[in-house]
Structure 1
């Protein structure tokens, strides 16, 4: 019997792009769908949370150009196509129920289906129903098929290609008039992506997905038929390996809207759309007498972060939703918490204490949430689809003219400028006369006040509660400073030291549908000449919000509980500028520009490296300024080559290599390895007739120990991913390994990710919930324990004193 205690989450998104960049599960409303590249996660993100790419979190995710997506974290997610018009077939063969298939209803206590059972069931349903098409979208890390169920009316199923095309055209928003967009919106279908199971121990995600699909295939009520006619649903279990692994061994739910802050780059229609869909969900919960659903401050979720299936779609003009629900096969209880029994704006329908809460109740809540999204998508199809286009047009228009994005730092700068100019009284607000207040004038800058029954005051002046402002010169000189305009575009020069990494960055943008151009010949902008092959990313495109978010630094607000109080913790990362993280050199261009540019179709090829001066070479020098040079070194060391780190500058073939460059001695086996590295990695090598003079340190493959805990540390998983990308060999060690001592005999370096001290067994900041030692399978017993001061710190000190290296992060 599997035991899981996690809260499950679900997300939805309204997608406007034909590619989504989040590897999570979501539900989205879209006008069409497109192929999505999946990055498969490890069997359990609890055991190894190194997953984190471009797929939504643990929710179902649908990828369509214009759709609303919902992604359940440990729950389920639902994706709804936004524009399909078809008639649901009335006659279907018998649809096998979960009870008939498994001998259990979905949500029965003490029972979970494995992925093998899940797969067999969906394969059977696809044969039984003309409402469902089952496609394999890839393989999991362990080789299991990743299945996506496409669900809609039979007539819609025959026109999927047309609906995809409509979604793509609306999402790009380019070359369409409003009238043409409205016609396409009327013809199209809403696409909703629902995923579940990304976090394997949040077992509700996979369970609700099976139940939702069964109900969509078996029900013939008017609402379900309308959903099938107007929506295209994409349902995906996003972690097959984790489902197989886990199933073999005060409030009930959080739902949208989300708390502040929201990101300043995306269209204001995004948070408005989230609120609208959230209201539909809340209303349905109330009408079905399902209390205990909290919103906004009831959870830490905001819309700031750009990195999950729920949130990445915001920057592509789509609505993304997430819900989080309690529930697992072991019955639980809803405790009595007095403060959670009083209705308020963020908990309008409190739930009474429940001595027993069954898993099936959680499944029912999740299905209600899914149906609320699908129903909304079907009823608002035309509007949702047109809004995707309109938001795209807004982005194109903003990128074609001067525009400013106001940030918290800008407001702080205005306040400082006003104070320094002697305008502190204006900023604080001054009293105004009764006559001025009644007239709605408000004087030089004071806060308007109500002054009596005949005066009007705040009643007559709707902006009165916000004060009457200050001199417009501060707005014009600070917030509209020409030097602070949003860029019209970015230029990534091809002559930068690590252009292969810059190309990887560009391909990351291409993966999520950003339009990129490449110079076919040299060109000049603002007096600077750029070589052929340079990349150009203009902001006059539908996904402008995403472009800005990848090039510009984030400016998270100072978010405090109250003046002088503690800060509110961001839901996830507060900053993530990818161009900075990857060390990409680029120039911002604030005015319109053009040049000899061709659009990049597909992915940009990584530029090839060269091997020069190979004849009679004693060895080869190569630069340390390219990230992939370290991949090349690891390959050379693995092949038994002699590689050195140079402590003096050296010249080769007319080039000067600075201190820190690398040298590989020539052997019979060396040249083919270098030629392959030049081809695969874009690293260039210059032959030298003699070995470089000066000191050099011979390199050896490092024996790296990477610390982790049972249940998985996300920082450790992210470091693991990084080591794998550059082909560093490493061994994961757990508290028992460290406490045993003797580390120097096995390792040269120990990497300690942030947050590990005192963390263990429960993993992931306490989210793993390993339960008692007896419940942990034998093969994972060696991972148990926690890093502590009494045994772990002395063992690490011994390692250091014996000549080991400790890399402590955070």
Structure 2
């Protein structure tokens, strides 16, 4: 009987145990990417779309306490911008404490050595990795669900060490808008004749491929999210950005960079890149990957995008570059198609940094996903194994840089309150604050080194951890000119991007250097600056300062309200050419605009009508094309929108229809090749263009050229930037030559440098500009009027100085452009063609020359 009674009880207990076990398993079961998406990440002909990927990460968050998903906000076009944190549940419960430690390690000023030792022992390595910043480089975002899944489900010693010792922040898609565009484009074309073709328009509303050039100016919403996370909230010890490169070289580039390197980073940063890179390369080889290259191809002096600017934040900033496929369509590479011939990689042969060449064959998206996951994991593994070394090195870098700043010849930078454009100076300060710099603001007038600085001046000590960033952005810099940057016969190697990224010069802000450490009790800025605009009425109304870029935003807002505005042509009563006058306007509207823009409406005592004219805002068309789009056009859109300019996107077909003067007063041609504007493509470019569906081909053709000529003859203004000059010169038969045309790089070479110029601010197109300044020349045309019967039709607006042209960057052959025109206007019928040779609105960064564009529209 006992046995009879025992059996049911035993079976019952077993069943309860089994049910509880299965219930526990069910609660802890984590959905794999393959289960969720229905295919393996990187599978041929399959791309997971961003909205589905977002849902997957939120599903993981429900299933595990080791992942935290944060939506930092909407992208430029409204998609979620996610930041993931993956770490142990214990670390997740202790984030406030760990963040405090992270900040002390990143900026150890005033912290005792004993406290720092304790922080190093208690703290965790903070690692950031971002994926698919370039949306066409799909591998990183496709890899990210699998990387997260592996970290959450593996239970081996290595994984546990990572979770225990690392706070891993992952941006699974740096460009959500582009990811959606690319995925939709690929899905639309897969299985058709157009499968694998690059998308015909920009894969970001404003910048396309250029979003990795925004780690300093933070013009894009996505950049501001990243900056707050990585420059302010958490300072990582290492950061890696996962990219793709061409299909016909190495299979995978990993750190470190090759030479030259940009100055002012702590030397330990460059050692760290070699350390991390060696570990990544070793683990890739261990895992059987071929074709891995390091210490070649990508130089340590690059643009100031994310992986190249982070070393100056004392972060080991790196990138990986995978050989690409045609999105999710595999490519076949013949052995003879494999090429090298780049920095540190002269031939496609085995070398110490490329010990295992890939022989060719099929290349799949899955290959990219696998190698990127291996590299991403390796960074975490090395940091976890050496957590205390990583944190100790972070402290040393911050201390070293602070000491270097304190001992530098220039120890303090002052941004005086008195500026040509004080609101742009404030805008620059806010960009620097978003980059995590310590900035003080003078609450009273002060004297330093026999100079008087007004209240409201900003003071930046170089004795702080991000000294290297300050030196690069706010002091004159020069690109290396040595054996790393020239061939044996003296031919210069082009920098990866610009030769300088001197923010203060681009933005036209005056920065004064002091040789002493300015000791003051001025308060440290704790939040972004907000300049309050004021409104004060005079006997004849109001005036606003035409030197301020923000004046054009104010004018556009007033014009939207149908408020009449006048502009000064000759000085009177303290006003200067370019200032704006408002005689009558509702006070409440002016107050609203003053608060919004920070610009003050000043009292106008009297008006001299013969010295002013009524402002007309031109109806503006901005030319856009296909064949991958034009980044200069995208950035121009952002510039227009930031300053309230209405514009219409103008495509080839509308231009060819003619009658343009009925709709437009101003047409802008962003910098582009003449054949890309006309559609008269030749050779390989023509063959590639003809691969696209008819609706995605562009070019204005002969009909469009005639339509533009008619537009200008009837009183329109055609504005050309940079290389679009060639189109205008040919189409309009202008008697203007580009003096740089056809020269060898040993004769003329200006790869993104600031050059000194004179502005003729008596001309309406240069109203509001200073007498002299700098412009950004990026292999830009410089003009010379060919002698003829109508020389008086050509008016110089901006002219290069006669000598000592270079301010920052690299310049060879200054005599080529000395005293030549940088910008001019040409009469044509009743209208004009405006030729702006330099980068007047380059990436929405060159605020110093925005007015030269704005003045073509506000006349």
User: Is contact 2:568-2:575 (8 Å) kept?
Assistant: no
Deviation at 1:740, TM superposition (A): 3.9
Aligned residue for 1:536? 459
Aligned residue for 2:439? 516
Q: TM-score of the superposition, structure 1-length normalised?
A: 0.72
Deviation at 1:569, TM superposition (A): 2.1
Aligned residue for 2:75? 140
Aligned residue for 1:296? 295
- Residue deviations 1:623-654 (CA, integer Å, cap 9, x gap): 11111111111111111011111112122xxx
After TM superposition, list the pairs within 5 Å mapping 1:354-365 onto structure 2.
Answer: 354=361, 356-365=362-371
User: Is contact 1:641-1:665 (8 Å) kept?
Assistant: no
Deviation at 1:761, TM superposition (A): 12
How many Å separate the matches in 2 of 1:197 and 1:630?
36
Aligned residue for 2:800? none
- Residue deviations 1:295-331 (CA, integer Å, cap 9, x gap): 333x3x3232452221221111001111111233111
Q: What's the Cα RMSD here?
A: 2.7
Deviation at 1:289, TM superposition (A): 1.3
How many Å separate the matches in 1 of 2:72 and 2:457?
34
| Among 579, 585, 589, the residue aligned to 1:661 | 579
- Residue deviations 1:561-593 (CA, integer Å, cap 9, x gap): 513254322212221211112221221101222
Question: Which SS does the other structure have where 1:227 is aligned?
Answer: helix
Question: Which SS does the other structure have where 1:137 is aligned?
Answer: strand
1:536/1:380 CA distance change after superposition, 3 Å: same
Deviation at 1:775, TM superposition (A): 6.5
After TM superposition, list the pairs within 5 Å mapping 1:581-660 onto structure 2.
Answer: 581-606=506-531, 608-614=532-538, 617-651=539-573, 656-660=574-578
User: Is contact 2:678-2:700 (8 Å) kept?
Assistant: no
Is 2:602 the partner of 1:680?
A: no
User: Is contact 2:260-2:485 (8 Å) kept?
Assistant: no
User: Is contact 1:131-1:152 (8 Å) kept?
Assistant: yes
How many Å separate the matches in 2 of 1:255 and 1:136?
30
Question: Which SS does the other structure have where 2:675 is aligned?
Answer: coil
How many Å separate the matches in 1 of 2:438 and 2:305?
21
Question: Which SS does the other structure have where 1:294 is aligned?
Answer: strand
How many Å separate the matches in 2 of 1:383 and 1:594?
34
1:689/1:130 CA distance change after superposition, 3 Å: closer
After TM superposition, list the pairs within 5 Å mapping 1:405-420 onto structure 2.
Answer: none
Deviation at 1:112, TM superposition (A): 0.9
After TM superposition, list the pairs within 5 Å mapping 1:28-39 onto structure 2.
Answer: none
Is 2:104 the partner of 1:169?
A: yes
Deviation at 1:611, TM superposition (A): 2.1
Aligned residue for 1:97? 32
What 5-or-longer segments of structure 1 have no aligned partner? 1-88, 404-484
User: Is contact 2:303-2:496 (8 Å) kept?
Assistant: no
How many Å separate the matches in 2 of 1:743 and 1:567?
44
How many Å separate the matches in 1 of 2:704 and 2:264?
45
Deviation at 1:685, TM superposition (A): 2.2
| Among 110, 113, 122, the residue aligned to 1:187 | 122
What 5-or-longer segments of structure 2 have no aligned partner? 1-23, 186-248, 340-346, 723-859
1:618/1:782 CA distance change after superposition, 3 Å: farther
Deviation at 1:176, TM superposition (A): 2.2
Is 2:744 the partner of 1:808?
A: no
How many Å separate the matches in 2 of 1:570 and 1:264?
14
- Residue deviations 1:311-352 (CA, integer Å, cap 9, x gap): 221111001111111233111123213766520134221001
Question: Which SS does the other structure have where 1:490 is aligned?
Answer: strand
Question: Which SS does the other structure have where 2:406 is aligned?
Answer: coil
How many Å separate the matches in 1 of 2:120 and 2:133?
32
| Among 311, 316, 334, the residue aligned to 1:314 | 311
- Residue deviations 1:213-235 (CA, integer Å, cap 9, x gap): 11111222221121111111112
Deviation at 1:728, TM superposition (A): 1.1
Question: Which SS does the other structure have where 1:588 is aligned?
Answer: strand
How many Å separate the matches in 2 of 1:157 and 1:548?
37
Deviation at 1:772, TM superposition (A): 7.3
1:247/1:808 CA distance change after superposition, 3 Å: same
Deviation at 1:542, TM superposition (A): 0.7
Question: Which SS does the other structure have where 2:366 is aligned?
Answer: helix
1:609/1:131 CA distance change after superposition, 3 Å: closer
| Among 354, 361, 375, the residue aligned to 1:347 | 354
1:96/1:761 CA distance change after superposition, 3 Å: farther
Question: Which SS does the other structure have where 1:536 is aligned?
Answer: strand
Aligned residue for 1:69? none
1:348/1:758 CA distance change after superposition, 3 Å: farther
- My pick for the range that moved more, 523-532 or 135-144, is 135-144
After TM superposition, list the pairs within 5 Å mapping 1:243-392 onto structure 2.
Answer: 243-249=179-185, 250-297=249-296, 299=297, 301-305=298-302, 307-325=304-322, 326-327=324-325, 328-337=327-336, 341-354=348-361, 356-392=362-398
Deviation at 1:365, TM superposition (A): 0.7
After TM superposition, list the pairs within 5 Å mapping 1:80-91 onto structure 2.
Answer: none
1:557/1:755 CA distance change after superposition, 3 Å: farther
How many Å separate the matches in 2 of 1:767 and 1:674?
56
After TM superposition, list the pairs within 5 Å mapping 1:211-226 onto structure 2.
Answer: 211-226=146-161
How many Å separate the matches in 1 of 2:132 and 2:491?
34
Whose RCO is larger (CA < 8 A, sep 6+)?
1
